[in-house]
Amino acid sequence: MSTILSLAPQNVWKHFYGLTQVPRPSGFMGPVQEFLLQFAKEAGIEAFKDEVGNIIMRKPATPGMEDCKGVILQAHMDMVPQKNNDTVHDFEKDPLETYVDGEWVKAKGTTLGADNGMGVAAIMAVMEDKTLKHGALEALITVDEETGMYGAFGLKPGTLHGEILLNLDSEEEGELYIGCAGGVDVTATLQYKEVETNPSHIAMKVSLKGLRGGHSGLEINQGRANANKLMARFVREAITTCNARLATWCGGNMRNAIPREADVVLTLPAQDEEKLQTLVKRCEDLFNEEYHALETPISFKAECVERPAMETPEEIQDNLVDAIYACQDGICRMIPTIPDTVETSSNLSIVTITEGKAQFSLLVRSSSESMKKYRALSLESCFSMAGMKVEMSGSYSGWNPDVESPILKAMVKSYEEQFGAEPAVKVVHAGLECGIIGSIVPGLDMISFGPTLRSHQSPDERVLISSVQKFYDFLTATLANTPKKV
Ligand SMILES: [Zn+2]
């Protein structure tokens, strides 16, 4: 018998253990869908699978609670399949091996799937328990959240009837999330005819390395350096003071990461080589001075390379460098009603200029739809001025926080009564399923919360045992205190 079965609350751990025995990596949902439908059947709970594979369950209000607002409990059934190199594990076949490590539960050599198995287990415990008090309940257990929130995107309007949604996919007990960022991809491109490099010129490759980078949403408030932006400062000056010409540019590699590296190839008259080397050194010193508190030492170096045959025409080069230099990057606005919380940002993630094509990729995030649009359009203005074609794609909705939300007020009060402490109320500057679901079911009053998890996308994933009891007690108290219908 697994030791986690003896942990409290036993009904939650029992279902969590059950989930660890069912393979459920994103993209492989069949067995866990079956498992959930079978559970509902045995527990006498109405359940069905929707068109995209989400599992929906319904349980009527307990006697005397019929006038409460309907509550939707929401979690995702898939997990991130990560294992250590020396672990033999087939995520589509093998059960996870869990164990208790001090205050935490972990899995041997793999992700634990507590993200979001803990949320699913809590839903199963609530659905099964006949002693709880609650209004009409629905469960929405989505597929494939981790790889693109496909379950949330595929939800059909009219499927759910509740007015309140409790998302159980947050990672810090004692925190209530009341908003998240939506996003839109902005891509600027320009095709041009390259010109031959000057045969009397030499070529130098200049490389920027060692930046910390980070998640373009969660870490955009840290003020870290953007490799493409630092490089633009150097290239602009190299063009004006060292007679340099731009051949190629390659910076960043993931749209949702702050770029950590960039390199360019420049051509220039041989007599300006020393000047360029001096400029590189001066930039390295300056960048390290500006960022010493935020970055580990930044490396900025130049080396002679073979002269490429072609380079960017001068006018195009100037326009492209100006566009990189000028485009809005980083925080645009903080949320006016919530302290120290980013509302709107953009990240200039990938820049490539090579072989007659320039492409810049950016990701705009905001909890406000109108501010998201504003930042995206200001980027469009900037790149259009440089003669570039600008496309918007992959837009998804944010969840604009409502500090006056009735369920928020009820949950803050209930948390204080139960635990004698105030919960933290937060907004995350990244996407949550709530943003998508809220745009499909307008008017939902939503909160996201959960037990304490760490390293949730690595084999070090763990859940704090004591936080599971608090999380579940808080969930059941919230259901018992659901606001009444108006
Ligand atoms: Zn999750």
Write down the pLDDT at residue 2. Answer: 64
Confidence of residue 456 (pLDDT cuts 50, 70, 90): confident
Q: How far is CA 67 from CA 79, 127, 233, in A?
A: 36, 19, 62
- Can you say how many angstroms the Cα of residue 220 is from the centroid of all Cα atoms in its chain? 12
Statement to judge: residues 381 and 403 lie in one domain: no
Write down the pLDDT at residue 3. Answer: 86
Model pTM greater than 0.85? yes
100, part of any domain: yes
Q: Beta strands of 52-134 (E only): which ranges?
A: 55-59, 71-76, 98-101, 104-107
CATH number of 103's domain: 3.40.630.10
Q: Which of 412, 427, 290, 455 is nearest to 365 (CA)?
A: 427
Statement to judge: residues 423 and 475 lie in one domain: yes
Exposure string over 125-150, b if 16+ CB within 10 A, otherwise e: bbbbeeebbbbbbbbbbbbbbbeebb
Report the separation in Å between the CA atom of 192 and the middle of ligand 1, taken as the mean of its atom positions: 43
35-75 confidence digits (pLDDT tens): 999 999 999 999 999 999 999 999 999 999 999 999 999 99
Report the separation in Å between the CA atom of 269 and the middle of ligand 1, taken as the mean of its atom positions: 55
378, part of any domain: yes
Q: Measured over all CA atoms, what is the biggest interatomic distance in the chain, rounded to whole angstroms? A: 89
Beta strand 445-448 with 164-167: parallel, antiparallel or unpaired?
Answer: parallel
pLDDT for 103 beyond 90: yes
Domain stops at, among 340, 374, 396: 396
Task: Give the count of domains, the chain.
Answer: 2
- CB-based neighbours (< 5 A) of ligand 1, an ion: 115-116, 169
Exposure string over 84-99, b if 16+ CB within 10 A, otherwise e: eeeeebebeeeebebe
Residue 418 bridge partners (DSSP): none
Amino acid at 225: A
Residue with tokens 């994103």: 26
High-pLDDT (> 70) share of the chain, %: 100
Report the separation in Å between the CA atom of 165 and the middle of ligand 1, taken as the mean of its atom positions: 16
Segments forming the whole domain that contains residue 187: 183-396
pLDDT for 1 beyond 70: no
Report the separation in Å between the CA atom of 468 and the middle of ligand 1, taken as the mean of its atom positions: 16
Write out the catalytic residue numbers. 78, 145
Statement to judge: residues 359 and 414 lie in one domain: no
233, part of any domain: yes
High-pLDDT (> 90) share of the chain, %: 96
266-313 confidence digits (pLDDT tens): 999 999 999 999 999 999 999 999 999 999 999 999 999 999 999 999
131-161 confidence digits (pLDDT tens): 999 999 999 999 999 999 999 999 999 999 9
Report the separation in Å between the CA atom of 280 and the middle of ligand 1, taken as the mean of its atom positions: 43
Report the separation in Å between the CA atom of 115 and the middle of ligand 1, taken as the mean of its atom positions: 5
pLDDT for 486 beyond 90: no
486, part of any domain: no
